Chains A and B, each alone.
Chain A
């Protein structure tokens, strides 16, 4: 079992819809969770982080964390074609941990 698993996709949604990206992790002691967006040919860019159970909203993005289920998700509301990218989930064992473990990413396409 991989430490961090994401739906491989690709995921396709129409413009204006909600895109839902999911991630599960195996280390129950994990405490820090991150979402990165990576456009084709570019480097990953941090877009959200969450440390506590529940929801965290930032503009059109909402990160959701459920530590009991070892599950973290990213919702993108009012999806735009510019949101088309690969989204990487990353997990750190604790807030002082030296490294993040990444999932393989989910590729999202938003169709006009």
Chain B
């Protein structure tokens, strides 16, 4: 099994729909992150969490919310999806002070 698992891998949804992207990890790390990747814009941070009770906004949190259900699970929600949220979404985890382990990504298309 992968260290960081994201579901679904691909999703097409309609404008205005609520959608949840899920992430679980088996690394035992406290820190988890959600990034989106757009062509030419690199990886941009949406939200991050240091532990179950600690949630922090990233640089592009508007239109998104998160839930840290357990140390191993961190979900990202789009409450009312819009076309410019079409992107590749990555979940990542890390120990303190070290680099990230990324999930395989979720390709989201909002039509």
In contact, A43 and B43 (Cβ under 8 angstroms): no
Taking residues whose C-beta sits less than 8 angstroms from the other chain, chain A's interface range is: 20 to 34
How many angstroms from the CA of A42 to the CA of B103 in the assembled complex? 9
Q: Give the A-B pair count, Cβ closer than 8 A.
A: 52
Minimal beta-carbon separation of A63 from chain B (angstroms) = 12
Q: Is the CB of A104 within 8 A of B102?
A: no
Known contacts A98-B31, A99-B58; is-contact A44 B96 (Cβ 8 Å): no
Q: How far is the CB of B40 from chain A (nearest CB, A)?
A: 7
Question: In the complex, what residues of B have CB within 8 A of residue A69's CB?
Answer: none
Interface size of B as a range: 20 to 34
**Are A95 and B40 in touch, CB under 8 angstroms?**
no
Q: Which B residues are within 8 Å of any A CB, using their own CB?
A: 31, 33, 35, 40-45, 48, 50, 56, 58, 90, 96-105
For this complex, 12 residue pairs linking A to B, each with C-beta atoms less than 8 Å apart, are: A32-B97, A36-B100, A42-B104, A43-B90, A43-B103, A45-B102, A98-B48, A99-B33, A99-B56, A102-B43, A102-B44, A103-B42
